[in-house]
Amino acid sequence: MKTKIAIVVPAAGVGSRMQAGIPKQYIELCGKPVLRHTLDKLAQLLVVDKFIVAVSASDEYFQESYLPDARFVRCDGGKERADSVLNALQVLQDFSPEWVLVHDAARPLVALTDIEKLIRECIENGEGGILASQVKDTIKRGDTYAEETVPRSALWQAYTPQMFRYQELKSALQTALQNGVTITDEASAMELQGHPVRLVAARSDNIKITTPEDLPLAEFIIQQQEKSHV
């Protein structure tokens, strides 16, 4: 029996650090909005049965044409990321997938091979996981001055998608929100509930478009990926 898999794309943020006047997921990148790049990339995952895109109810920029095919459904997002993801999980209630992946709307550069690797490793091991890459730079702890150098051998930079069993993720998010806990990503909610989170090594060019200087880098990476069909 085929494993039912869904992907949630929270896209209700305003992206204030981009200072662009419009939410960062709608900034044009190589001729089309960042969100469209992300959804078009994810649409190539034929193993995924359903996609939920969580968009602010007051969003004036979203267009239904951004949804690549019939597997994609729009839903209302929430005030915070965790609220948007939980809203999307509620929409999936009747579909009841076994696994769900959550992917940032502003991460259009993720490699399909990395997502496929994440899906494979999570299902084979029966536990959730996230795409991540080991920290390469020297890390300092401090405020105005460096107070110490942090060993980086066990440090990873977390990416998305992040993949977990549907019911476990839904329960973890509900518990965190009820307790007023700040959730920075889905893995943090799962960690608080004691669930294992596998670290699946991924390409380091899976950057999140956050600030203006990310745009020219993202354009360059997209051009390179198109040449190599990543």
Quick one: pLDDT at residue 153?
87
What would the pLDDT profile of 75-124 be if each residue is shown by its tens digit?
999 999 999 999 999 999 999 999 999 999 999 999 999 999 999 999 99
Tokens 């949804």 sit at which residue?
67
Q: What is the pLDDT of residue 211?
A: 87
Q: Are the beta carbons of 35 and 54 closer than 8 angstroms?
A: no
| Chain length of the chain | 230
Domains of the chain (ranges, CATH numbers)? 5-228 (3.90.550.10)
What does 114-132 look like in DSSP terms, one character per residue? HHHHHHHHHHHHTS-EEEE
Which residue, among 141, 146, 120, has the nearest Cα to 131 in the 3D structure? 120
The DSSP call for residue 98 is: S
Three-class SS state of 170: helix
pLDDT score for 20: 61
pLDDT digits (tens, 9 = 90+) for 51-63: 999 999 999 999 9
Is the pLDDT confidence value at 134 over 80? Answer: yes
